[in-house]
Structure 1
């Protein structure tokens, strides 16, 4: 890559420590994918490809700090189910054959296309394949993202505990036949996964020039053995990789910590010695005040997923408590079945709005600066990419999004940062650059044949729906037992009330 671009006098949200989300006029020079100069004005050089900044808002690309590309095939199938019930149907545990690499490639391309067209330049893709991820399946994701031009952390999501053991009170709720079926489901061996993860960390160490990285994806504390979590922590430290884990997403999980470990999930992870700056906790809703202090002290990050948390009725994360304690926050869409979108603009707007209804003190409500920081630099830091992307600064890679401010979303033109948070839905995006390469031009993806991807997936739609219908029918047999388990959980006392977002003790 030898192209040199001069972005000439654009309105820029640098998201750096100097000007943050305050609009400033800047010129930006990009060479070999790196931002090499940022100034009020720069003189064009003979080799510059000049991109006019007139009527353009230029910002660092969004970092989707938590998503699951698996769910792209389950978009708009399910509604009005809590997480544990929804997982039975979106990640069915009974009777599921592995997906072929060609379908995984198409699925990943779909996620990349929708992301790029919405200004997402980095994905944290916690790729969960059921019943277990193979090397060919992982390679298909890397290849799809390589070709699309997007930046990504890509996981080998893993759980090594039997499914029925993930939940308190479930054993008593299951009839004997269903328990036998669940016990017969193959579980990944921890030592096999650790070998797989080490090999993947080495294999993808400099893949696509470092634009794509492997990350560790232990599913959740209650789904992984202590030995597996310790082994994953060691690999993450050795290769400086993100350790991405679901923690305290639901009230069920708050009860699980007390029932399984006699402590909160955060306290349990801390006792295992695996909480540190490489850890990103997806969700982090049902945390106590002391949990927040521990996370801040260990410099762990939290990925906030407001749309998914709303759709699944999971609760409201303590946004202000996290920020006041100094916990790094990113924002994610979660998967396209739990949120039905890969568009970070929706997640950013939801984050800005959701926390305004948790209390009357408007001085505590999220600001545009805060949500945009979480959607860019905060997500980059959680992904171990804080020195690489997330702001417009010299030395960082050129992952940039250009918005046309002559669009409906920016008319009349008032405060660009507020337009971006509350009005813009991706329709104003003119150009997207990742690693200094233009991958969206005039609002169209240039790196992938978008029409061909959509046409092939639509053509395979009847086949996919038959497959999904069969799986859903099979796994719905488990729902009555989960209803009974859910009732037992709801009868237990927990320390906080995150349905309101306030956090007071809830006695039921």
Structure 2
């Protein structure tokens, strides 16, 4: 028995029609799209969905996010990245989160994502002070239950945090500097061994829907041998290697101070760029950096909401497109953007880059943004052969919107309504591997009310721990702010701030 969607308005994102709406019928069998045509046969026992007044499109790929920040959503404001990280990624005092709370956090994140049309998560999971398999198992278990597709990482920092930023060691009190440097950090062998075991442990999890990926935090936060080793291991397993690079001007200064060059050039020199590499952010890149990324077929995940909220800058959208660098879209973490909802990301990406150039021919287009939210994200996740467009043979990860809503009235161009008018409120059905995961606004395999009730019960303890960590790590605030302001005043050859 299969599923047939008959006579729908469809945005296929395929090579022939792209984001141009067409009228099509689709057949789904065994988790895959088996037929797309003006008319599709039905068989006894098929589920038939009337596609009239419906829009069908590929599920969205959140190409960079951090589910582990979910418990700090709505907690911080007006902090640049380097100061925000003091509190959301505490240097001192963090205790391992119990696996049951990791599972709750991950389920809440998955539910909110699914209800906004995200069918694939690139989830860069960091646990402080470190990650173990019980915690990572909890994320995989949660996502298997929710039904979402995901790349799930072991995120790693293997340098003392105070040694990942320029000027900070000279600004910190000696006793505080010594305390941080005394904290244990994983070795390259530790991380690569953990990751090799993770590939074996999670192979074919949920029928291949859930995959492990490598995530060295950034070139300034990891040793060269770890970065190169992670790139090699990702290539060996056909997996994504996900790295934060040049999110802020401070990181541009860091490259110059630490390596005498840009962070992108440093990654090239040590052999840590490949077609399986995705750079998160990539804002403060030079024109030569963009060329290097294109030459090495590296993807970039663009995160406009968090870049705006943290004041990081505006990524060079048009330069990336001119160089044919693959772009995906990410929400980033729920503490830096305060949402996992990709509709908000899509609209912000479509609008933000219209103020960076007076030439409208160089503005971001709805087609480009929809491509980044689907095929681009799938390419960055190493999944474009399976998802990202509606094509025969691909996995049936798709969304069905009700066109008879205010968001789509007065029914002009559905693609423009989807980008600029829709916020997820018209979404009626989410399918992943041909299974209905969201029906009429409810995730079918999860009791959302029970999750929220459990969260309310546990909030007093969660907030007490967060408040304690904020107080303890506030000791770093003044020196880190001095570092930030010094970097902000320096000339790095490019400017990604506006106004």
By the TM > 0.5 criterion, same fold? yes
Alignment deviations for residues 97-138 of structure 1 (CA, whole Å, 9 cap, x no partner): 000000000000011000100000000000000111101000
Match of 2:359 among 358, 361, 364: 361
1:118 counterpart (108, 116, 119): 116
Aligned equivalent of 1:22: 20
Distance in 1, matches of 2:183 and 2:336, equals 24
**2:157 & 2:54 partners in 1: Cα distance?**
46
- For residues 99-114 of structure 1, the aligned pairs below 5 Å read 99-114=97-112
2:146 is aligned with 1:163 = no
| 1:478 pairs with 2:458 | no
Alignment partner, residue 336 of structure 1: 334
**Aligned with residue 260 of structure 1, among 258, 283, 292:** 258
Please give the residue correspondences for 1:174-189 in structure 2 after superposition, counting only pairs within 5 Å: 174-189=172-187
User: Partner residue of 2:491?
Assistant: 493
Please give the residue correspondences for 1:211-290 in structure 2 after superposition, counting only pairs within 5 Å: 211-290=209-288
C-alpha contact 2:231 2:274 (8 A) present in aligned 1 = no
Pairwise CA distance, 1:454: 1.2
**Do 1:131 and 1:186's aligned partners in 2 also have CA atoms closer than 8 Å?**
no
Partners of 2:160 and 2:301 lie apart in 1 by 26
3-state SS of paired residue (1:223): coil
Cα distance between partner residues in 2 of 1:363 and 1:232: 39
Question: Is 1:34 the equivalent of 2:32?
Answer: yes
Choose the corresponding residue for 1:440, options 438, 441, 444.
438
The answer as to 2:425 corresponding to 1:427 is yes
Residue 492 (structure 1) shift: 2.3
The total of aligned residue pairs comes to 499
Q: Which stretches in structure 2 are left out of the alignment for 5+ residues?
A: none
Match of 1:9 in 2: 7
1:38-53 equivalences in 2 (<5 Å): 38-53=36-51
Q: Cα offset for 1:283?
A: 0.1
> How many angstroms apart in 1 are the aligned matches of 2:176 and 2:421?
49
Structure 2 counterpart of 1:389? 387
Contact 1:333 1:341 in 2 (8 A): yes
Residue 343 (structure 2) aligns with: 345
Give the C-alpha shift of residue 44 in structure 1: 1.4
Classify the secondary structure of the residue corresponding to 2:34: strand
Q: Mind listing any 5+ residue stretches in structure 1 that lack a counterpart?
A: 502-508
- Whether the 8 Å contact between 1:301 and 1:382 is mirrored in structure 2 is yes
Rounded to whole Å, the distance in 2 between the matches of 1:460 and 1:159 is 29
Name the structure 2 match of 1:199: 197
Which residue among 30, 53, 75 is the counterpart of 1:77? 75
Partner of 2:405: 407
Report how far residue 184 of structure 1 moved: 2.4
2:452 matched residue in structure 1: 454
CA distance in 2, matches of 1:486, 1:414: 47
Give the superposition deviation at 1:204: 1.2
Which residue matches 2:465? 467
Q: Deviations over 1:165-213 (max 9, x none)?
A: 1001001110112112211222122211110000101111211000000
**Residues in 2 aligned to 1:298 and 1:114: alpha-carbon distance in whole angstroms:** 35
- Would the aligned equivalents of 1:93 and 1:185 in 2 still touch at CA under 8 Å? no
Give the Cα–Cα distance (whole angstroms) in 1 for the partners of residues 182 and 407 of structure 2.
53
Aligned to 1:131: 129
TM score, norm. by length of structure 1: 0.97
1:293 & 1:233 partners in 2: Cα distance?
19
1:505 is matched with none
In structure 1, the partner of 2:307 is 309
